Structure formats: structure tokens, C-alpha cells
Structure 1
Amino acid sequence: MTPRPAPWTVAGVAVVTLLLGLLAPGGTPLASGAPAAAVPAAQAPAAVDPRLTRSFLVDPSSQAVRAAKADPAFKRIAGVAQARWLTSALPVARARATARSWGAYGVQRGQTPLVAIYALPGRDCGGHSAGGFDPTTYRSWIREVAAGLKGSRAVAVLEPDALALLGSCSGQDQWLPLIRYAAQQLQAAGVWVYLDAGHSNWQSADVMADRVAQAGIAYARGISVNVSNYQGTNAVGAWGRKVTAGLAQRGARGKTVLIDTSRNGAGPAPDNQWCNPPSARLGMATRVINANGVDFVAWVKRPGESDGTCNGGPPAGQWWPTGARRLMAAR
């Protein structure tokens, strides 16, 4: 197995530079060594939110961490910050304490807690990750999650795939108002919300800008793209910027992008498989970008956890050693 460059080695910096160059405004690469704009002596620089300067939190209780205790090879996955998924498997009665524990751990370590919130009624349109609360319970649950995360300066990816799936199944009439409600509650708790917009090989940027605008973008910092998918970082990042440009045209200016890079190291499978494709490889490790409309690249989908009973995998969400080893293989 060929070792992967550690963050901020020459190769790692080259990847980030490529990302930023391709995502520069108007598609023009950034000029190296360009002088910064002068700041008047009497004007203090604006305070930078710590989420744009500190690292993300590594989950010490993840399935990858447990697997690495038996097989140290999995430390390559376990040692990278990933989202903690809050789903309908978490009862309302435990939601506040669970979210508070994760948020408090981030405060203690001076790092950013990342969560993926995934509990809409009829989520995944009955697919491998089917489930979710009824609308009334969802609102109660979201209030508890938001209360638990208050003060932690968390980052939340809100309802992966939901907006891209609109129109694909029945029972979705509550999705838009519920996502708006969730975004409002989380923003009020100081959480940076990223409304999930799917990816560049699904819906058009214009369609997604319409849907995201309806889903409460006023309460969100931006959009998340490529969650649990495999589109190349530069391609999906450029597409995400098209979505945010569309949002600006609709009056929502200054929105940013979070890119899931957990499994896109080899790009999409030749046949566009999405469920445990054997060709998938780990992508760029979680880090702050904070340039040209992109806030972060992050491992939102947890590598090594199955997409479902496809390509030899166990049920969705279970740790799958064979799939994890595939992801870590040389390209």
C-alpha cells in the first residue's frame, strides 16, 4: 500500500492549491504572492470566527476507532475528524444530552464539533437508510439537539440528500418546512448550518439554488455538497459555487460551501455506482479552506461504514472492514 501524504506535505499543499485555484472567482487561478489589500491604520481587522482557524474534532468513540484497536491499519481512517451523525435512532429524551456531550468535548479540546443531522420523516425515500421521525417529533427532537449544541460553535450538515431527492417519492410535503425549522433552531443556538444540496451529477445548480432558497438559506451559513458521494473535489466544489452564485441572484449573498471528501479520492465510479462502489478511495482529509467561497473539506460520511446491502456490504451504517480496506488501497 502506498502511503498517503500527511496534511500539509508538499503533495497535500498542492492539492489544496489546485482546489483554491480552480474555485477562484470567475475560474481564474489565484495569483501567488499577490499583495493583501491595505487596512487603514485606524481600522482594526474584523474578528475571525474560531471555526475558520481551528481543527475539527476526532470522535474517540467512532466505529473506526474501535476497529483500529484490533487492526492498527484502520488508524488511517480513525485519526481523521469526521461528522457524528445524529439520526432518528437517537430518542428525543436523549437528544439534548448526547448533543451536549459532543459539543462540550469540542469546547474542552478547543476544536470544532461536526454533526450530520438525518431524521426527516421518510428520509432516503425508503432506500437503504430509510427511517425518520414524524413531523411533530422531529420538531421536538431538533429543539433538543439545538439546545445541546448551544455554545459549542458546532458545524452541522442538515439532512443529506433530502433537497436533491424532492419529487422522488411520496410523503415529502413536510420536508421544506421542517428543514427551515431545523435551520432556524440550530442557527439560534450558534451552530453554522449547511443545507445539503446533493452533488454535481444529480440536479442542476439552478434547480438546487431554487430548492435551497426555499429550505431556509437565510438561517444557514451555506450548503454542503457531495455527502456520501464520490464526485471529484474540484468539480463538485465548482458546482457548489454555481449553486451559491444562484443563491446570490435570489438575494442570499455570501453563502459558502462545505465539501464532503470522505470517499472521493478516485472520483466517481465508471458506472456511477453510489452504493459501496469498489473503486472508491479516501479523499482529502478534513481541514479548513476558508477561501473563494469554500469553508471546509470534511469527512461527513464516515469511511468504512457501509452504504447498505450492496456490493457485499452489511446494512447501512455498520462497520465493514472489507470496504474500509478498499478505501485505503492505492489508487
Structure 2
Amino acid sequence: MAVAVILALVPSAGTAAAGARPVIDDGPWVPFTASWDGPWQAYSQATGTSKTLLGKIALRPRVFWFTSGTQKRNATEVVRDRIAEFQRGNPDAYAQLAIFGLYPTGEKNRTDPIPLAQQQTYRRWIDQIAVGIGSSKVIMVLEPDLAVAWGGWRPGVRFGLTAYAAKKLGSLPNTTVYLDGSDADWLKADKAVRMLLRAGVRYVDGIALGSTHYSSTAGNIRYGANLIRRLSAQGVPGKTLVIDTADNAKPFTPQEFYRRFPHGWIGNANLCRTKTETKCVTLGIPPTTDVANARWGLSATDRSLASKYVDAYLWFGRPWLYNQAAPFRLNRALAVASTTPY
């Protein structure tokens, strides 16, 4: 089934901080329609109300995560295939990718040493990805959950590897790179800035916030604006933001979650059961560069900050997946689609 969907919510150009180069031009944003993709496959097979609901996910631009599972393969060919599945023959269309490769055996093993051979494997993987992307148009989130490295073995090693990726991928002519900067409810601003500087933020276009947390868009706008000001004071000016809004229409913090579910797991946090329930998971603001629209319910102050600092709201969170990772869960997808206010 061929589809060329451009959301009305995605206008022709993004915003940028004063003095920064435009980072998202008028190339269309398109959904990921690979036949094997969970949301798209479910949408294609659904009928009636289920199809309408699943369309709220499948027909919206989503970020595809390119993970360490491809480090033992020819990543050049794999990334070319993914870009082709986004573009469907239209080279002006953006592919939206997340690069997630610092934890090849899982974040749970973050305290294990990273052998030199594994470090070299990561660099070679990044080199292959860069070749695969080439001059294609890509919006990229670099190393979601980067802040996990602070609690792992020698954080500087992972930050150094990320800086290598930032420099390599940030040099590609049509790839816009946002380095993960944690979340408003995660790192304190000074620690986040130290991480960003060590991880190569100077080589990329901006910062990505909110990848696996559920805090509010407004909170991340204010948090991100603070990070950008601090980076500028450190001699790294002109950065901008993208914020994940896939799952935060009814925001909450990890502390609030664990007070309510002391034995729960936040990766599969509680789904909203109704449109009026609060502090639960449901789809947030649809992907868009219209970041200051009054429709999103932001205060005048937050809309002003968004206009100045935020390039886009993206969907790089994945609440329709088990543990936000894999596999696709139809019940989660239907739940978040049926309770979203958008």
C-alpha cells in the first residue's frame, strides 16, 4: 500500500535560535511504512475503529531506532535500506533516525568494562552509518539515554565514543543531529552541560530531550532553554532543541510513578484508561515544527521560549512497544491512541 502522508501539523520550515543555520527545511516529513514495522503492519491489517486509532500512530512521522544489533552487520546497507523505506523514491523526504549503540549488551550491563575492540567496533559502525547516509536528508537523535552513562563504567569512554559519532555524523551535508541531553526530571543542568560538552555537542545542531521519560513538554522547553544558555556561556552558542512528545500528554516524573507503583517498571508505565485520567501514558503533541501553536496549551512564556529555541516536537519515544524497545504491543498502541487529547 503506497502512502505519501504529510501532516498538516508539520509546516514547511522549523525555527532556529538567532545566528544558527536553519536546521529543518521544507522537505516533507513522512511516516515509516515498512511492511514489517509494528504500527504500520497493524494499521494495514486493521478495520473500523481500530484502524482509525492505529492511524494516529502509523500515519504520523516517527523516529526509527538504529541499534547496536547492526554492529555485527554491514550497517551501510542497513541504513540505506531504512532511508529508502522512509523516502519511497522521494529524495526530498526526511528519514528520522535515532542512533543507539553504546550498550550492545543492554543498559543493565552499563557497569561492565568496554574493551578496546568493542570501542573500535562502535567507531567502525558509526563510519558505516555515515557512508550509508551520505547526502540523504536525515533528522537524527544521537544516543538516546546518554545520561545512563553517568552510572556506568568510566562514563568518559562512552562520552568520547559519542563525541566521535557527533563529529562524524554532524559533518554530513543534509543530516541534522540532536545529541541526547536527558530530561527535565533527570540530570541537573550543570551535569547535563558537562555531559553534552564531553559528548561533542559542539559538532551537532542541537539537543534532544525526553527520549524515555514522560515529563511535560513545557518543562523540557524551560530545561532546554537553560541548557542552551549555559552552553553559550561555555563558548558553544547557537544550539536548538527537539523534544519527544510521543508519550507525555499526561506527564509525570519517575518519582511520581514509583510512589504510585513501588514495584512497577517505568519502561512499561501505566497507560491512561480515560481521556480525563492524569499522570499516565498517552500520545502527546503530534510531530510538528509548529512548536508555539496555542493549541498545545503552553503558557505565553513557554510559547516564546519554544519559538526561540525549539526546532520541532518529534516522536522518538515509543510507548506502543514493550518496555519502549520491542516488541510491538497492539493493546498498548490502541490504548494510547484512544486516550490522547490530540
Q: TM-score, normalised by structure 1?
A: 0.77
Question: Which structure carries more helix by proportion?
Answer: 2
Structure 2 distance, partners of 1:127, 1:272, is 24
Count of residues in correspondence between the two structures: 285
Q: Residue 231 of structure 2 aligns with which residue?
A: 247
1:295 aligns with 2:280: no
User: Which structure has more RCO (C-alpha within 8 Å, separation ≥ 6)?
Assistant: 2
Q: Residue 329 of structure 2 aligns with which residue?
A: 320
Aligned AA for 1:283?
G
1:96 aligns with 2:42: no
* Cα deviation 1:116-153 (Å, max 9, x = unaligned): 0011146763179x9x9921111111100011111012
Is the CA contact 2:178–2:206 (under 8 Å) kept in the aligned structure 1?
Answer: yes
**Equivalence map 1:126-137=2 (5 Å):** 126=108, 134-137=118-121
Cα offset, 1:324, TM superposition:
1.4
Structure 2 distance, partners of 1:107, 1:294, is 28
Kindly tell me: are residues 204 and 171 of structure 1, through their superposed partners in 2, closer, same or farther at Cα, counting changes over 3 Å?
closer
Is the CA contact 1:53–1:288 (under 8 Å) kept in the aligned structure 2?
Answer: no
**Equivalence map 1:104-183=2 (5 Å):** 104=84, 105-106=86-87, 108-109=89-90, 110-121=92-103, 125-126=107-108, 134-162=118-146, 164-170=147-153, 172-183=155-166
Kindly tell me: are residues 59 and 8 of structure 1, through their superposed partners in 2, closer, same or farther at Cα, counting changes over 3 Å?
closer
Aligned AA for 2:101?
A
* Cα deviation 1:244-268 (Å, max 9, x = unaligned): 1111011010000010111011112
Q: Residue 66 of structure 1 aligns with which residue?
A: 41
Kindly tell me: are residues 171 and 253 of structure 1, through their superposed partners in 2, closer, same or farther at Cα, counting changes over 3 Å?
closer
Aligned AA for 2:27?
R
CA RMSD of aligned residues (A): 3.1
Q: Residue 261 of structure 2 aligns with which residue?
A: none
Aligned AA for 1:197?
G
Q: TM-score, normalised by structure 2?
A: 0.75
Is the CA contact 1:194–1:258 (under 8 Å) kept in the aligned structure 2?
Answer: yes
SS in structure 2 of the partner of residue 108 of structure 1: coil
* Cα deviation 1:194-224 (Å, max 9, x = unaligned): 1101100011122111210111112110110
Q: Residue 287 of structure 2 aligns with which residue?
A: 286
Cα offset, 1:325, TM superposition:
2.0
Q: What 5-or-longer segments of structure 2 have no aligned partner?
A: 1-5, 259-265, 271-279, 292-306
> Identity of paired residues, percent?
24
Is the CA contact 1:125–1:168 (under 8 Å) kept in the aligned structure 2?
Answer: no
